[in-house]
Amino acid sequence: MTMPLEARKKQVKLTFQGQTKSIPQWANAVGIHEDTIRFRLKRGWDHERILTTPVDTSKQRFKDKTVPLWPAPEGNDEVSRRVQNLEIANTFLMDSLEKVELRLQALAKQIGALDREEACV
């Protein structure tokens, strides 16, 4: 199958160690996802760095940015507000669950009554 001319024009090629390949070809060759290669290219990385830098899978870069939600540190209004919102949401969900359980019990009684009526007929 031949690629349309527009698709061939837009296809990005990277050259590394004397080999020129498309992003999907390099992704298969080096085991780095295509989106990661594109992201690195947009960030201005050179081709060698793009294809030889291992992907950070440790999630360490996110650990410093996490905000503990429970218990809320004193003096942190944003975290306190989030905790309060979670408590409100939890109360709402528990109330809703209780109402659903009561409704299911009522329906089960109605079904039982209908079954008994059919048995009598």
Mean pLDDT of the region 27-34: 90
Backbone angles phi, psi at 2, to 5 degrees: -90, 135
What does the pLDDT look like over 39-93, one tens digit per residue?
899 989 999 999 999 887 766 555 555 555 555 556 667 777 777 788 888 877 8
Residue spans per domain, the chain: 11-55, 66-120
Q: What is the pTM of this model?
A: 0.45
Beta bridge partner(s), residue 14: 21
